[in-house]
Amino acid sequence: MARTEPLLMVLKLTQEAEEQASLQLRSAQLELQKRQNQLEALQNYRLDYMKQMEQQQGQSISASHYHQFHQFVRQVDAAIIQQVNAVQDADNQRQHRQVHWQEKQQKRKAVELLLANKAEKAQLAELRAEQKMVDEFASQQFYRKKLR
């Protein structure tokens, strides 16, 4: 039993590392979702603004108002580009953390497999020892009967 104690400690550590990696992955997924929602909000805002300008199309618009419109649309487009980059960064981070979590999960499973193999070997050794005792007992009884 003393031999499995270090492995049990290793298992506990790998489980904790996997749990930490899982929390980091979840955090990255939430951050990605938040950034995607912000991007969608910016895109919807631009679309709504463009629809408002389209509705004013038949009306006379001053040159300064038209210039302000285009300036604002360029600013919104720049914000959209920045947000697309932020979404890509968040997705890269999520992918990195997913790989990290999978590595931790794989290590935990490997330690669990080692423990299972060790337990199976111990059980086999116990069964062999028990069978050896039964065989010895049977052979001793056989010799005793022969001696009588």
| Average pLDDT of span 52-57 | 79
Q: Taking all residues of the chain, what is their mean pLDDT, rounded to a whole number?
A: 90
Give me the phi and psi of 127, to 5 degrees please. Answer: -65, -40
pLDDT for residue 59:
74
CA–CA separation, 119 vs 127, rounded Å? 12
Q: Which tokens hold the place of 25?
A: 């992955």
In this predicted structure, the answer to whether residue 78 has a pLDDT above a threshold of 50 is yes
In this predicted structure, the answer to whether residue 51 has a pLDDT above a threshold of 50 is yes
| Average pLDDT of span 28-39 | 98
pLDDT for residue 148:
66
In this predicted structure, the answer to whether residue 103 has a pLDDT above a threshold of 90 is yes
Find all residues with CB under 8 Å of 50, minimum gap 6, and list them: 73
pTM, two decimals, is 0.74
Task: Work out the percent of the chain whose per-residue pLDDT is above 90.
Answer: 66
| Average pLDDT of span 65-85 | 93
pLDDT for residue 38:
97
